[in-house]
Structure 1
Amino acid sequence: MSVKVMMQSSGNKSLAGFTRRISLWLGAAVLLGGAAAVMLVLQLIVFAQIVADLAFQDHALMAEIPALKWLGIFLVARALLQWVADMVAAQGSLRLTSSLRSELLQHLFNVGPVGMASYATGETVTALDAGVEGLEPYFAQYIPRAAMMVVLPFMILATVLHLDGWSFLILACTGPLIPVFMALVGYRAQAIMDRQWTQLLLLGSSFLDALQGMTTLRLFGRARDAVAAVANMADEYRCTTMSVMKVAFLTSAVLEFFASLSIALVAVVFGARLLEGKVDFQSAFLVLLLAPEYFMSLRAFSASYHARQNATAAMVAISKLFALSSVATRHANQPIIEPLVSVKCENLSAEYEAGRTVLSNINCTFTRGTLSLITGESGAGKTTLVRVLLGLLSPIAGRIVAEDAHGIAHAHWQSCIGWVPQRPCLVHGSVVDNLRMANPQADMASLRNVARQADALSFIEALPQGVDTLIGERGACLSGGEVQRLALARVLLRNPQILILDEPTAHLDPKSEQHVAAAIARIALNRIVIVIAHRGAIINHAGQVLRVHKGLIFNGLHMLEHAA
């Protein structure tokens, strides 16, 4: 009954496919619900018999004790069975949504940041959060109630048919009206739900964009405009949500009207026939007890119908995420014991869109102990080359070979890479918390060692609480150079054989730039270090300068001038 195994074995990313993956859970819930329905019918039969015996057969209350015991047994059994059925359905739904979220995250990791670049972050977050959560009521409530809408009414109809043909005819004719009207209203409600979900995605994206661009908005004096735009979108979402609620209330009112009308019709027919003496009280009373339960399952199904509409709308966003193609290179996380001495790019070509080559026939070698610098104008292909090296973008031609001192090529060399982006991500917490993100089991001696290598130990010890100082999200309490050195220390905690840095000295003052450049130069003595940079301090430490120009790579300044 492992949902994770079933999800990995199936590629059907639809509501029907997900339903099949937890068919055992849902089947058990339906069987338990069916048993609870049987207990309900038996409970009402016993109750009708007790009332008839006491009212018309002059039985003493003591004489009905055995029947009262059976009534209590059926009552408790029904409650327990229904509770277990609900728990089984909820458990299967939780397992499915948990596994679905994990599978979706794994797929997004395979897609990589390059493949996700064209997809709004807010839409991704909303789909992973509200979208996946919106599927849970569909499996926990809608599917079991849809099954019970068939099981319980047919069971009651069979009982009523045995008791009274006219009542059977009335219930059989009026019962289907509820699903029919529910389907008619559902078409309109689905359109509103789709619009509501689209507005939710836009609202999430706009809110996240406003938060991320808060500094720029304030500098240009447009913060109030951004707040007003988000407020307007929130108001539109509120209005659409109220429209959904209005449709839901109107639907419930219509269904209640038909259910009440049908029960009243059954009561009137039985009342007239009781006065004429054509039917006994026990049968009439039992039918009147069964009639509300007949419509109860239909009303419960209609009440959960919005869960289907919400799941259908949410599935559109989830399907878009699953439809993203994987552009990242998948590699096993297997450390390489032998030291790597070189990484060679042989006839390497890469592109983001078919027919638009960004890198063309790149040939270069990065060696151990040499700080290799990649430079060039914006848009030349520097970032693309680094993305290919990191495995975030698969090349369309050529290959990358990583060799050790014996000339042996290693297939899983990308697991030995350490990466420091231009703007490192620091989380809210202490210095030691941020460092241990790379290795949660690292001891204090290891932390001090990597901090010393990154020239970060001096400023860490100068902080108020040392390594236990809270630094705030994104290093709010640190300078730009301190953030870079702390990020460098963190990546060194993994002891990578290959270290790639993107503009490590950008946005730094001259003093901080010298500190960071010197630390990188020391680290490059026993590693393969690749740096994207434009500024002079790091260039002075470079042993190899590779200049990228219009998708081609040149070794040294004179070759670029010759090509131009």
Structure 2
Amino acid sequence: MKPVDRRLLGYARSARGFFVVAGLLGLVQTACTVAFAWLVSSTVVAAIGGASVSQLTGSLAALAAVVVVRSGVIWLMGYISARAAAVVKGELRRSVLEKLPQLGSAWLSSRNSVTVSTVVTVGLDALDTYFSKYLPQLILTVIATPVVVSVLFAGDWVSGLTVMLTLPLVPVFMILIGRATESAQKTQWQKLGRLSSGFLDVVEGLSTLKIFGREKRQAERIRRVTDDYRTSTMSVLRLSFMSGFVLELAASLSVALLAVSVGLRLVDGSLGLGVGLFVLMLAPEAFLPLRQVGAQFHAAADGIAATDEVFEILDTPVVSGAIGSATVTSVGELPGALEQRSTRAAALDGLEISGLGVSYGEVRVLHDFAATFRAGELTVITGPSGAGKSTVVAAMLGFVQHRGSIRLLGTPGREPEPEPEPESARALAPGRELGQNTRPLQLDDVAWSGQRSQLLAGTIAENVTLGARTPDAALAARALDLAAASELDPLTALGVNGAGLSGGQSQRVSVARAIYRALDRGCAVLVLDEPSSALDAETEAELLRGLRELAGRGMIVICVSHRAAFRAAADAIVTVARPGDATVPAAVASLASTRRN
């Protein structure tokens, strides 16, 4: 656990300014401390020597001014620290939220999403203590301790040498206790993540648990995890108190040793009263910053642990997938007519997948998958459960690391990019000419709706136009109509997770959202994963009519479905089989493609 991670300065640039300003303030505070000790000692010596009150007025006024300046510096340090904490938290949260979409759902699926949420929210909030208490003391230690020791050497070299020899005891004890605290702190942080994820899992599945009468067992489990977290927290507190006691003891014994030495020399007359009093007042200031750093280190441990996990996320390299990074540009300035919004899609010939391979660890899900999806056609991907249909979609969306290429065909104004391709791709892509213009599929080419609706609290219209820079009410109504949801009022307010709608209605709103994006941004490809699993036959037929209309305007419409109605309405059917399935011809490995005449 590093006191200050260099990555903090890289990912939160505002922290650099904080260190500069805090360093200047620490220098002023140190000067005030030395001046205060000197003024007090000289004033006391002068008073003992018989100086009148009028003669001490100047010293007393200077002493008051030093106290005021030091108080102002301490207040300003607290204000700047709180401000820096707020700004740095915002920068780190923004960086994480920008990085997570780049890492994709494949990376997130290998992590506990609740733990990630805890780090970005509660974890980063712990930076308040880190910036307001720990870092100011750390900066003050770096500045004040060497300055005070140097001043002590200048005033009395024996006292300076005594402080310099006893001072290392404090960081030694800090390191020894800090190692034990680091282990306990990591354990506490892990238990907090376990408690958060366990509680969220129970809340999400509470209705299912209630149905099967298992809710009481989960209550006991949460109680047990909570007790573990409480015990871990108390262990960290116990170490914190022990650390404070040991540091105070070491500093007190060191100052006491110095005081004995000064007292003996004052008695034998080898040391003047002014110098001796000055040294005695200044010596504790050499130990105080170190003691405070040790105490505040434990208070800021949560923030340090959270930033470590944040930096781990930010340092994770982005694995290139099918979809390259692209700046999404809105075509909202175009008229609302569907014909004009689909111009970009109509310029394409199709989408080609070639040599696609996907593995999850040691498990190979797809191998040498190849298919061509033509523009203007409704293509249905079907196959047994677990064959890899959703994996094909995930690869198209860039959600999983994969081999092979996924490219759009017929892109005007680009040079041909011929490349070698598997024999199966040529066999399954009739009509494709080698050398035809192609380019990789990008983020702003695709509109997608998954198996789960994922609706938000708000109106239906707000859910349909989610992500649009300038929501278009007419286009939203058109998208609902194409999704067989024209009976739904766009102004209907929904609760969390789309509360207020049935499963089929939520599904159609999700499809409408994908259609809206496709129309609003001129997406070439519309991908729907099981879009009618919760629909009756009549509504499903209406949805198919809408999808056929979109395909008829030049869009590449791809649906993953087991439903017979979709297979009957499809222009082409792509059947995904499990790797090694003997029922699939060896020449095509994991693909059988049927195109209607």
TM norm structure 1: 0.85
Paired residue for 2:327? Answer: 333
Match of 1:546 among 553, 574, 583: 574
CA deviations on 1:248-270 (whole Å, 9 max, x unpaired) are 11211222223333444444554
Change (3 A) 1:408 1:414: farther
* 1:37 and 2:33 aligned: no
Paired residue for 1:52? Answer: 45
How far has the Cα of 1:237 moved from its partner? Answer: 0.8
How far has the Cα of 1:373 moved from its partner? Answer: 0.8
The alignment partner of 1:392 has SS state of: coil
Q: CA RMSD in A?
A: 3.2
Match of 1:26 among 2, 16, 19: 19
The alignment partner of 2:359 has SS state of: strand
* 1:492 and 2:515 aligned: yes
How far has the Cα of 1:477 moved from its partner? Answer: 0.7
How far has the Cα of 1:238 moved from its partner? Answer: 0.8
Maintained 8 Å contact 2:351/2:556 = no
Paired residue for 1:17? Answer: 7
Q: Distance in 1 between matches of 2:364 and 2:163?
A: 69
The alignment partner of 1:530 has SS state of: strand
Q: How does 1:235-314 map to 2 (within 5 A)?
A: 235-271=227-263, 274=266, 279-306=271-298, 309-310=301-302, 313-314=305-306
Q: How does 1:421-440 map to 2 (within 5 A)?
A: 421-440=450-469
Q: Distance in 1 between matches of 2:526 and 2:406?
A: 19
Change (3 A) 1:479 1:521: farther
How far has the Cα of 1:538 moved from its partner? Answer: 3.0
Paired residue for 1:383? Answer: 390
How far has the Cα of 1:140 moved from its partner? Answer: 5.8
* One-letter amino acid matched to 2:100: L
Change (3 A) 1:55 1:85: same
Q: Distance in 1 between matches of 2:67 and 2:277?
A: 18
Q: Distance in 1 between matches of 2:22 and 2:280?
A: 28
The alignment partner of 2:380 has SS state of: strand
How far has the Cα of 1:545 moved from its partner? Answer: 1.7
Report sequence identity in percent.
Answer: 28
Q: Which runs of 5+ in 2 are unaligned?
A: 332-342, 414-435, 580-589
Maintained 8 Å contact 2:22/2:139 = no
How far has the Cα of 1:41 moved from its partner? Answer: 0.8
Maintained 8 Å contact 1:334/1:412 = no
How far has the Cα of 1:359 moved from its partner? Answer: 2.8
Change (3 A) 1:26 1:140: farther
Paired residue for 1:452? Answer: 481
* One-letter amino acid matched to 1:501: L
Bigger CA drift: 98-107 or 333-342?
A: 333-342
Paired residue for 1:213? Answer: 205
* One-letter amino acid matched to 1:157: V
Paired residue for 1:10? Answer: none
Q: Distance in 2 between matches of 1:364 and 1:213?
A: 38
Match of 1:525 among 549, 552, 566: 552
Maintained 8 Å contact 1:174/1:262 = yes
Q: Distance in 2 between matches of 1:290 and 1:439?
A: 64
* One-letter amino acid matched to 2:327: N
Q: Which runs of 5+ in 1 are unaligned?
A: 1-13, 461-466, 559-564
Match of 2:112 among 106, 112, 120: 120
Paired residue for 2:503? Answer: 480
Maintained 8 Å contact 1:332/1:412 = no
The alignment partner of 2:535 has SS state of: coil
* 1:192 and 2:184 aligned: yes
How far has the Cα of 1:165 moved from its partner? Answer: 4.4
The alignment partner of 1:160 has SS state of: helix
The alignment partner of 1:458 has SS state of: coil
CA deviations on 1:371-412 (whole Å, 9 max, x unpaired) are 111111011121121122222235412442332589653546
Q: Distance in 2 between matches of 1:244 and 1:41?
A: 36
Maintained 8 Å contact 1:115/1:324 = no
TM norm structure 2: 0.80
How far has the Cα of 1:334 moved from its partner? Answer: 4.7
* One-letter amino acid matched to 2:471: A
The alignment partner of 1:529 has SS state of: strand
Q: Distance in 2 between matches of 1:203 and 1:423?
A: 26
Q: Tell me the number of residue pairs that the alignment of Structure 1 and Structure 2 aligns.
A: 538
Paired residue for 2:357? Answer: 350
